[in-house]
Amino acid sequence: MAIRKDPSLNVFDEALAICSTDPTTGFFRDGSCETCAEDRGSLFSVTRDVADLSAQIADYRAALESWPELQAQRDLAWTLLTLGVLQAAQASEPLQTALTTERRVYSTSFTLHRVLAGSGADAVRRAVLARPETQEALSLLHAHPARKPYLRAWQLGVDLADAELTATNEPARHDAFQRQASRLSVHLNPLSEEANEMAALYVED
């Protein structure tokens, strides 16, 4: 059966820009983020198993206890967030649906963002924030910020209405949309309405 590319435009409704030709990357090895139904991702493995995540968390905790200088707090935070979202899905039908029916899951925070863009966002947000894993993850991200602003952390701050996380990582939004907007497929969706508006302003400038 022939594999056909999905129509691909970036967030400006323009043709996708080339990302890399040395080496040539992408599912079609054409240097861009073109995609199709057969492209199910192969860059990393994803687990939705609570036991696996709990084991990872235990490993991070043990490592940090043995080597306090190890900079693994942020890795622990994102793993805790994943577990918190999975646990929250038991009380949130939209979140459960997204985790079980999405064709591809790029990251926990991106999946959460997609759900929060739909109906019932407040209930989903409350379910996620009610999880102790989520609260610990946010505390770790506050206490151990990245060396430079991080777009993923900014988006999480916006989605969970965490003003501190949003403000700390705000510069990443501008940098990302200046450098990467022409490479983002519309299949990934704009990161948020606010970021999409900023991208439009950038084009007008």
3-state helix, strand, coil in the chain (%, to 5): 60, 5, 40
pLDDT of residue 42: 45
Residue 117 lies in a domain: yes
Residue 2 lies in a domain: no
DSSP-derived letter for residue 187 is: G
Residue 105 lies in a domain: yes
Q: Please give the Cα distance from 117 to 191 (Å, whole number).
A: 10
Residue 86 lies in a domain: yes
pLDDT of residue 136: 96
DSSP H stretches of helix in 34-187: 50-66, 73-88, 93-101, 108-116, 121-129, 132-143, 151-159, 163-168, 170-179
Residue 4 lies in a domain: no
Q: Please give the Cα distance from 34 to 29 (Å, whole number).
A: 9
Report the predicted TM-score, pTM, of the whole model to 2 decimal places. Answer: 0.64
Residue 160 lies in a domain: no
pLDDT of residue 152: 84
Residue 177 lies in a domain: no
Q: Please give the Cα distance from 50 to 42 (Å, whole number).
A: 22
Residue 45 lies in a domain: no
Regions of the chain short of the pLDDT cut 70:
1-2, 6-7, 10-13, 37-48, 101-106, 173-205
Domain count for the chain, please give it: 1
pLDDT of residue 132: 96
pLDDT of residue 88: 93
pLDDT in tens, 35-73: 776 665 544 444 557 788 888 899 889 988 888 777 789
> Which domain does 87 fall in, by range?
50-150
Tokens for 149, please give them.
Answer: 């602003």
